[in-house]
Amino acid sequence: MDSSYGLDLNKPLYDGRYSWFDHSKFGGTVYEPKPNDPSTRTTDPIVTGTSVLAVKYKGGVAIAADTLLSYGSLARFRDIRRIHKLNEHTIIGSSGEYSDFQYITRMLDDVVTDNHIADNNLQPMDPKSIFSYLSRVMYQRRNKQDPLYNNIVVAGYRNGESFLGSVDLLGTHYQDDHIATGFGDHIARPLLRNAYKPDLTKEEAVKLLEKCLTVLFYRDARAYYRVQICTIGEDGVNIAEPQVLQTDWSVGNVTYGYDGRRTALPQA
Amino acid sequence: MFRSDYDSDISIWSPQGRIHQIEYAMEAVKQGSASVGLKSKTHAVVAAVKRASSELGSNQQKVFRIDDHLAISMSGLTADGRVLTKYLRNECLNHKFVYEQPMPVSKLVVQLADKSQVHTQQSGRRPYGVGLLVIGYDENGPHLYETSPSGNYYDYKAQAIGNRFQSARTYLEKTYETFDDATPEELIRHSLLALRETVQTSSSSSSSTPNEGITSKNAVVAIVGRDQKLTIYENEELIPFLAGIETSGAAAGENTATSMEE
């Protein structure tokens, strides 16, 4: 059996720069900056978080993400929280470029504080309004050809009403009963769609997200087994401490592609 | 009018600790015809007297719709008021676009007051010569605010500004305790009765001066409240409300001099 797994071992694996996107495969070339070149925009994210999952339940919303930040395919930071509380009614989670998420977090913290102060009755901002504001910012940045490389999930609960929305780097935004970003939109979303019902309890919702995260950890090479499953609802905001998923890899031996084999197991 | 060596610039103090130019601007508000505002637990109402430049001219617009939940009534320089109207409408539209939610009244009033304040301090500018009564309804219920050229703003249960506002305020002070639970119709009635005080001469000499009082031509009323978008009543729409005040004033023992003449 060929031990190089199809790689040309004479080529260097690392050329001094990392990009998860192989431009050469699509007729592009890797950009080499020279001293007097014009300024450029970010074209790929550098440090990224993977999927964010969220589902509405009766009396609130559950939102979950793992704690891994990847540097390309390298699992670079393993205890970073990607779910942030904005006020008593709103939390957000982010997949994509983490530095952009830090920027968004600070910006929204300011907006929420300003609006809180502007309102003489000192009512915290509505999740719907925060979501709308964020959507406008994301779309404006896209139109400046300088997008914030994230897909943000906004979860909220106010006046007995749950809110769940997503906005991406293009400014595309929508609301739904359940949302998953990134690879999770492919892997976890069908599971959420099957399991979702309007009278889901909080415990069921948390269990459901835990299952989805586990499946994602099995299938998404950028996912991690350390996760946070947070809730916002009748009983307030709960930004949960990270927990460890229970996994069972015994199926790996019979799974195609699991250990780097290029072909299915030979029939005995 | 009192003049002083210290009244020629908006940013110069007098030794008495006053800024005369700002006070003059506040006087301009009193030159304009009166506006009256009041609110219950669920609704806010504003009413105003629309003057006409001549018999042949139209009556000036006093009440302006800012948004579906917000209106202003202005007293003073209407030209300045229109500038502010444009600003307020724009702010409301912007807020609706950015936050997908109507502008909170308190937030708008603070912004307006801040804008007015700048005009009391920056050189080369003059204060706005207009006072506004702002009514609105939002998450926190009905609101009534007064803003003035000085940049001050006040939250009120009931208030009157403009020409002879004190007469209207006397009426409001006498009756405001009943406003909380008043119906929208009662609020409008009170607003017109208060407004009437600013155009009627209550002394016996009034018979010689031509005074129609409040008519469907020279009055305007706006109301906003719970489950009610801003509605402005003018001209014929006012007639039913005016019919309601014709007898009630005399019955309540108000304006006895007028009723005796009739």
Residues of B in contact with A136 (CB under 8 A): 97-98
Range list of β-strands (E), chain B: 35-39, 43-49, 63-67, 70-76, 130-138, 141-147, 153-155, 158-161, 219-225, 228-234
Please report which confidence band the pLDDT of residue A122 belongs to, taking 50, 70 and 90 as the band edges: confident
Of residues B43, B52, B61, the one with CA closest to residue B220 = B61
Candidate from A146-160, A176-190, A206-220, A248-262 with smallest mean pLDDT: A248-262
Domain locations along chain B: 30-200+213-246
Of residues A158, A151, A170, the one with CA closest to residue A54 = A151
Pairwise CA distance, residues A259 & A241, whole Å: 32
- For chain A, give the number of residues: 268
Q: pTM, whole model, 2 decimals?
A: 0.83
Q: Where in chain A is the domain with CATH 3.60.20.10?
A: 47-246
Candidate from A104-113, A231-240, B119-128 with smallest mean pLDDT: B119-128
Q: A10 CB near a chain B CB, below 8 Å? A: no
Please report which confidence band the pLDDT of residue A20 belongs to, taking 50, 70 and 90 as the band edges: low
Candidates A29, A40, A42, A255; catalytic one: A42
Query: Average of pLDDT values for B128-149?
Result: 97
At residue B205, the 3 state secondary structure works out as helix
Of residues B16, B148, B12, the one with CA closest to residue B74 = B148
Backbone angle region of A77, left / alpha / beta, with phi > 0 → left and psi within -120 to 50 → alpha: beta
Which pLDDT score is estimated for A37? 85
Pairwise CA distance, residues A227 & A210, whole Å: 9
Query: Average of pLDDT values for B178-183?
Result: 96
End-to-end CA distance of chain A: 17
Nearest CA in chain B to A138: B98
Average confidence score pLDDT of chain B: 89
Pairwise CA distance, residues A39 & B67, whole Å: 44
At residue A56, the 3 state secondary structure works out as strand
- CA distances in angstroms from B23 to A36, B3, B125, B235, listed in the order given: 60, 11, 15, 35
Neighbour-count burial for A120-145, b at 16+ CB within 10 Å, e otherwise:
eeebbbbbbbbbbbbbbbbbebbeee
Query: What pLDDT digit, counting tens, does each position of B59-70 carry?
Result: 999 999 999 999
Pairwise CA distance, residues A203 & A62, whole Å: 10
Query: What pLDDT digit, counting tens, does each position of A238-251 carry?
Result: 999 999 999 988 77
| A47-246 topology per CATH | Glutamine Phosphoribosylpyrophosphate, subunit 1, domain 1 (3.60.20)
Mutation to test the A interface, candidates B91, B100, B107, B144, most A Cβ within 10 Å: B100
- CA distances in angstroms from B165 to A94, A139, B192, B198, listed in the order given: 56, 49, 13, 6
Please report which confidence band the pLDDT of residue A209 belongs to, taking 50, 70 and 90 as the band edges: very high
Pairwise CA distance, residues B177 & B181, whole Å: 9
Which pLDDT score is estimated for A121? 72
Residue A129 to residue B97, Cβ atoms within 8 A? no
The tokens of A232 are what?
Answer: 């916002």
Query: Average of pLDDT values for B219-223?
Result: 97
Q: B94 CB near a chain A CB, below 8 Å? A: no
Residue B101 to residue A133, Cβ atoms within 8 A? no
- Respond yes or no on whether ipTM tops 0.85: no
Which pLDDT score is estimated for A249? 83
Residues of A in contact with B107 (CB under 8 A): 115, 118-119
Candidate from B117-131, B205-219, B227-241 with smallest mean pLDDT: B205-219
pLDDT at B207 over 70: no
The tokens of B54 are what?
Answer: 């001549």
DSSP A165: E
The tokens of A79 are what?
Answer: 């205890």
Which pLDDT score is estimated for A10? 64
Known catalytic residue: A42?
A: yes
B13's CB contacts (< 8 A; 6+ apart) are B6, B19
Which CATH code for domain B30-200+213-246?
Answer: 3.60.20.10
Q: What share of chain B is helix, strand, coil (3-state, %, to 5)?
A: 40, 25, 35
Please report which confidence band the pLDDT of residue B227 belongs to, taking 50, 70 and 90 as the band edges: very high
Residue A136 to residue B97, Cβ atoms within 8 A? yes
